[in-house]
Structure 1
Amino acid sequence: MKKKPIERHQTLREKILETIRDAILRGTLKPGEKVAEPELAERFGISRTPIREAFRQLESEGYLTVIPRKGAVVTALSERDVKEFYAIKAILEGYAARIAAKNLSDKEIERLEAINERLQQLADEGDVKSFYRTHNEFHELFIRAAGNHKLAELINQLVVKFNRPRMASLSLPGRMQISVNEHSRLLEAFKARNGEQADNLVRKTASLGGQLLIQSMAQEEGRAVDPAVLEQIVDV
């Protein structure tokens, strides 16, 4: 009896989160635009408390910025933000891949292969949301295998702030397939227990990921996507 209200509240909260995430990813809510609490409260027939809780969650994920006495607005990122993010991500994840190459068990490598096979299926289906979740599973597995809890914590704190733009970038033509190919190369390095190669691959793909994300942001803003960048990445 006591569990029902909790279950209902969690379900409702997830609906609010999904509604706002989808609106931002579709471009219905644009960077800098305010997300109105009263409209959401009326739509879901609830008080503003669970909406504010959802706003805090979305802020931690990088979708919203909550401004005191003004409310929540869709987070706007600059190209500098993206470049700085990927510079740090490349170093941290590259180091994790270097250590993981020595620590991964055969069973864990098999699991990584299975995840990448699933990613190929999702890429073929064009399922961006499921692809993004599964893509994160791949990275989380080898980061855990590095055996450094502080490192894993730092990476998680960093990437969670860029959930929205990273997911949006997957909608670019060919982006999901590129990711699958990158993982295949990384898996070969893991199988060879080549930490240096794994590190270099992760750093290189992080740099390319940053370029793609900048192109995704240009697309969101209605600016032309640079085909030369996409061709360069596909050829890697």
Structure 2
Amino acid sequence: MLAPTDKKAATPFELRSLREQVYRYLRAEMQSGRIVPDEYIRLNELSERLGISKTPLRDAIIQLECEGFVTILPRRGVLMNRLTLQDVADAYGIVGALEASVIAAVCDRFTDDRLDAMTAINNGMTALIEQDDFDGHYAEFLEANIAFHNLFLDLSDNRQIKKIVLPFKQRLYDFPRRRYIREWERHNCREHGQLVELIRAGDGQAAADLLQHRHWSFSYYEDYIRQFYRS
């Protein structure tokens, strides 16, 4: 629960801080399934419940709309978007193309230390998959997966890449959280290992092809994808 706002005028810094708190609160509600797809988020009720003005609330909602999580409908409220299979296919195509373009462009910039770090993260992910309570480690697994990919995205000269890619990944895998499919994640970790080896060999094009046409291929993993989004 957010603390009520002070009656005195907030500074721009304080407004940004409150907006970020509201944004994180709404994401947590979506993540946990307390706000579900096709459900309206009513700003008046939420503002009263949280004890805040509508300004930071609207700002947080606008950010969520820009990231694809909600749609603002005038005079009706804010609707949490349902993730369709076409949405998933579109996201896979976008993320795959962007990440492949980065790998092809930065293959010669990898150091042994960075590749070793990618291997260590992937080994940790592989160990998590084999835990008896793998579903209980999904937050840790998702964080590690994003960290693995960020180790090559960080090499890009384009500073906007991660900002574009991250909301797609969050919406695909964490809103709401679902039960992971072990065998699918085993495939993903094996591909991570193959990616590292291709980069070590200096074959940026093969690494890019692996990312775009296998790792982020909707058609290749369609059976797993359909199973995942039914759960």
Measured against the shorter chain, the TM-score band is 0.7 to 0.9
Match of 2:180 in 1: 172
| TM value normalised by structure 1 | 0.72
2 CA distance for matches of 1:40 and 1:63? 17
The change in CA–CA distance for 1:35 and 1:157 in structure 2 (over 3 A counts) is same
Match of 1:80 in 2: 86
Report the number of matched residues. Answer: 213
Write the mapping of 1:69-218 to structure 2, written as runs, cut at 5 A: 69-120=75-126, 123=129, 124=131, 126-145=136-155, 147-149=156-158, 153=160, 156-161=163-168, 163-168=170-175, 171-174=179-182, 175-203=184-212, 204-208=214-218, 211=222, 212-218=224-230
- CA positional deviation for 1:121: 5.4
* Maintained 8 Å contact 1:62/1:163: no
More deviation in 158-167 or 55-64?
158-167
1 CA distance for matches of 2:104 and 2:178? 26
1 CA distance for matches of 2:14 and 2:125? 32
2 CA distance for matches of 1:180 and 1:82? 20
1 CA distance for matches of 2:138 and 2:34? 18
- CA positional deviation for 1:137: 2.4
Structure having the larger proportion of residues in helix: 1
How many percent of aligned residue pairs carry the same amino acid? 26
The amino acid that maps onto 2:191 is E
SS in 2 for 1:185: helix
- Deviations, residues 142-179 of structure 1 (Å, cap 9, x unaligned): 1232x442xx6356425524522232576323154443
- Deviations, residues 112-141 of structure 1 (Å, cap 9, x unaligned): 223324434555463323332332222222
The amino acid that maps onto 2:167 is V
Write the mapping of 1:1-12 to structure 2, written as runs, cut at 5 A: 12=18
- CA positional deviation for 1:22: 3.1
SS in 2 for 1:66: strand
| TM value normalised by structure 2 | 0.74
Match of 1:232 in 2: none
Q: Which runs of 5+ in 1 are unaligned?
A: 220-236
SS in 2 for 1:32: coil
The amino acid that maps onto 2:120 is A
Q: Which runs of 5+ in 2 are unaligned?
A: 1-9
1 CA distance for matches of 2:141 and 2:64? 20
* Maintained 8 Å contact 1:128/1:167: no
